[in-house]
Structure 1
Amino acid sequence: MLSDNNRDKLERIVHEYQFEHAMEYFKESVRKGIRLSKKEIETYNEINPSRIGGDPDLPFNEEWPLNSDGMPMTFLAQLRLSDLIPHDVTTLLPTKGMLYFFVGVDEPAYGIEHKVIYLSEDKLQEAKRYPSPEVTSLEDKFTGYRVSARPTMELPNYGYVDYEIVEDDEHDYDQYEDLCFELIGKNSSDLAVIFGYPSTQHGDCEYEAALHLLTGQQYNYSMDSALRQITDHFKGDSDRAKQEVQDILLLLALDSDQDVGFCWWDAGELQFYIRKEDLLAGNFANTYCSLYSS
């Protein structure tokens, strides 16, 4: 449910762009997200800020994650939860500590080896800059940036939007996209999003992630087939299966960015997913990673 301030903002911008015909659809489909933007190049003068790229800050006894071949994974981001909580209107994230994101080789684009680590606040007291191994799975060196967070309202993107509702003789997708950008205050420093809509062409990312997380099976690009397999997993409980798909959350989407050095295939997006049940339990051992590229 939208707060009064968010509802007023949504109605104002929708009116400004003359999309009143889709107002109820927008209110039903909007997701409350957190956008992360670049602030400044990391100087490492401070321990444990929210950072994307560069090196992580880790306790001395924390082991660097390895992929299945025994090679060190590549560090992507550390997000201090105290930086995110003021903007987490979903109240789903842990309130303290740090989330770390590592990735293995980004091929193929589904079921990518990765590691999400959660460390409690007390463990961060022992953290210090932990230089990345000389060679990691991606063989890339990323420039570290401090990041800032802000709350956003995220409307369905081109993979998820119902075109029959938003488009008519007077409104096209480009105008709708302008409305979306205005709503989130999109700028060139934006680097990542939490709890929004993942970039995709088919609007089926939650089916792919749910299928893998619940059954370990590979998605065959059929939402109906995935739902049948998940229903079988729950012994025919189709309502439970549908709810599981709905409860898949975008834990983090990292955009390609020239400054940091991220380039996911053809300037795409790297995406991490988690079940709502696991997030509420603080279980980050059960996550899914995939990649979207046009």
Structure 2
Amino acid sequence: METAQENTFSIDGHEFYFINEPDLCKNTKIGIFEHIRGLSIEIAAKTKDAKILRKNNVLDRYNTKGVVTLRFELEDIFRNDGIDRKFEVESNTILHSSYLTTYWDGLCYGEFFGVVKIKRNLIQIIGNWEGDKIFPINIQLYYDEDTLDWSKYIFTTEEELIVAPSEKVHRIDFKNGLTRFPETFERFVNLEMLYIGSYYNQDTQYNLELIPQWINKFKNLNTLVVSSANLETLPDQIGELAQLTHLHIDAPIKQIPDGIVRLPRLEILTLSYCNLELIPEQVDLPKLTSLNLKNNQLKTLPVAIFNQPCLKFLNLEDNPWEYLSPEFEKIPNLELELDYKIKFFDYDYKGADGLGTITWDDDVFYASGDSALMKSISDYWKNALPRKFQDDLTVLLKKALGFDFISKEDYQEVGNHRFGGLPDLPKDWEYPRFGENWREGKESNCYEFIGQINCAKVSHLQDYLPKSGMLYFFLSTIHEVYGGSNAAKVLFFDGDIKHLGSATKWNFTEEDYFETTSDIPYEGYKVNPYTFADLPDFYAVTSNKYILKNSTEGFKNALLEDDLGYEINELFEPFQKQDIAINSYGFSQHEYPEHVAAIGQRGNPMDWIILLKVPAVKDFHFGDAGDLFFLIHKSDLAKRNFNNVFCTMYSS
């Protein structure tokens, strides 16, 4: 940077001086940095007229130090054998750029309108700040282009590359696609990264139909991404790019060169949304950690892939698999449809006790056998649409147990139904705890109490829960649910309620819990049980086709191909309950909770039920006002074994 006298920074006619003061956590710097697409300009300046500028509503009223900072990120800047561009800025947004914006701090609320000019050694920012008032901004800053690290700059246009010296070109990203490889590219022998097409958008197709054989001239290339192209073949020469660590191809290719599966440094290989029909048998990728083969035409896969020593992630979704070796199940992160896991792997549920499953009466979970319950929704069949599919809908109706909130808990009764507050546990039980508590004098954390159910008092309403005893529901922390671990603890006491101690014996403070800010995480309420018939929400039925196992083809087709699901959801919405419930359905935009449980714990989704659904009611709010689910395998419920209850949640 040249002498300070040549640099100017004025706002509303008041002079600022450029600063680099660590105590202000501000500095002025110009450079090309990792994780920034283009040139980064960060400017910090300070004025001696802060008091005047605050009074004139130029500086923010809290800006007592008189410091203003701004940041620009500019791409497509290379012209005429160097930097030479003019950018128009409106409302803090740089025109001609899809995402790069300006950032200002220290001024009163408003927006910048003007131009940014950048040349080989000079930056000029000229315009107006428009808020409650309009005032001019004029910045002139000299810098030394020769100090820039061009190895990190990403070239985004052919116009830049035509004039750029070959030694400066290390990274290219044509995010809007490319119709052909210009032969002038051959000279970029330092190229390390090449992106062509939209990495995240398979909906837009580009016209690139050929990758040239001379791609092997890019000896230093470590990342090659070709997305949404019209390629039908790949050149063998890609297999000669020995420095490749990341290869992503998304194009209608049917096969890949053998050399690709023998690249010595390749760590991430993505061949998704292609038309691949086979993978070469001989695979030798010693560094491979991630392989994505989603959405192809693969019917089987060579076992050699499993033998890659570093492979931790494998996506096999959306392929017409006919056979997969059971070895693939051992890969730590395997993404594959549940139907295929059940078909090819030993995916039977082993039971909470590890002794396998026992038979259960499946009819008790459904509403069709309860004439009074079915009569309660008889009016809904009068509409022509549900009447047409009445048998299909009846098969899906569950006999759910809901709970209405009555009043706040006063703890005068021991062993009643209760949600929130604290539990009435057997007198000889300790309150359940988990983990290590970092607070002084606290060895572990208390589970959050969700609720208790007196089974004897709901035995006349259903036939799937125990006929007597107490069920207690606890949650360690919502973060454990997000982390994919089993955060639930469900305890069952099969004894007389006279052996219970009142919840008033528990005197916890917020320090006893992992993350709560209250001595009791959720306020306690008394509740009344009732039964209701529940239908699934068909929004995500395409991701949960197993639920239609007993449905007619006409009903399946209407749900999967037409808007029948939306119409049914709307018609039946008035009778679907949003209360705390047992054996109900749960809403999801993706897999239903039963599906999630089967993925995490094995077995068939139809063999899992929601033992408890807790929506966003009263003090219960999980995630973004989401629903918390406790799920149990029907065999474990028949055994009265609650040691492997699975916990998940849905949140928008």
**Normalization by structure 1: what TM-score?**
0.78
Cross-structure match for 2:477 = 105
2:468 aligned partner: 96
The one of 281, 289, 292 equivalent to 2:647 is: 289
Could you tell me how far apart the structure 1 residues matched to 2:413 and 2:616 are?
26
Residue pairs, 1:40-59, within 5 angstroms: 40-59=407-426
Supply the distance in 1 between the matched residues of 2:647 and 2:375 (Cα, whole angstroms).
35
Moved more, 55-64 or 280-289: 55-64
> What is the alpha-carbon distance in structure 1 between the residues aligned to residue 588 and residue 493 of structure 2?
31
Q: Does 1:83 align with 2:471?
A: no
How far apart, in 1, do the equivalents of 2:570 and 2:406 lie?
24
Query: How many angstroms does 1:160 deviate by?
Result: 5.0
Alpha-carbon offset, residue 171 of structure 1: 6.8
Question: Would the alpha carbon gap of residues 62 and 8 (structure 1) be closer, same or farther in structure 2, given more than 3 Å must change?
Answer: same
Alpha-carbon separation, structure 2, partners of 1:170 and 1:116: 39
Q: CA separation in 2, counterparts of 1:167 and 1:11?
A: 26
Which of 51-60 and 130-139 deviates more?
130-139
Structure-2 change in CA distance of 1:61 and 1:206 (3 Å): same
Secondary structure, in 3 states, of the residue corresponding to 1:24? helix
Identity of aligned residues (%): 25
Which residue pairs with 1:194 in the alignment?
582
- Counterpart CA distance in 2 for 1:23 and 1:161 is 18
Per the alignment, residue 223 of structure 1 pairs with none
SS at match of 2:456: helix
Deviations 1:90-149 (A, max 9, x none): x11100111111111211423342210001232653321242521323414211100111
Answer 1 or 2: which has greater helix percent.
Answer: 1
**For 1:27-50, what per-residue CA distance to the aligned partner results, in whole angstroms no more than 9, with x for missing partners?**
121111111110111111111110
Give 2:601's aligned residue: 213
1:131 and 2:513 correspond: no
Is this contact kept in 2: 1:55–1:132, CA < 8 A?
no
Counterpart-to-counterpart distance in 2, 1:44 and 1:17: 50
Give 1:199 shift. 2.2
Aligned-residue offset at 1:291 = 1.2
User: In the alignment, does 2:526 pair up with 1:146?
Assistant: yes
- Which residue among 600, 603, 606 is the counterpart of 1:246? 606
CA distance in 1, matches of 2:425, 2:434: 18
* Worse-matched range after superposition: 69-78 or 284-293: 69-78
CA contact (8 A) 2:423 2:449 kept: yes
Corresponding position of 2:558: 165
Question: What is the letter of the counterpart of residue 131 of structure 1?
Answer: W
Of the three residues 162, 170, 176, the one matched with 2:568 is 176
Give the root-mean-square deviation of aligned CA atoms.
2.6
Comparing 64-73 and 128-137, the one that deviates more:
128-137
Q: Which runs of 5+ in 1 are unaligned?
A: 215-240
Q: What is the 5 A alignment of 1:4-23? A: 4-16=371-383, 19-23=386-390
TM-score by length of 2: 0.37
For these two proteins, the number of residue pairs brought into alignment is 257
Larger Rg: 2
Aligned residue in 1 for 2:491: 117
Q: Distance in 2 between matches of 1:12 and 1:168?
A: 27
- Give the partner amino acid of 2:456: S
Give the Cα–Cα distance (whole angstroms) in 2 for the partners of residues 170 and 256 of structure 1.
28
Q: Distance in 2 between matches of 1:8 and 1:161?
A: 26
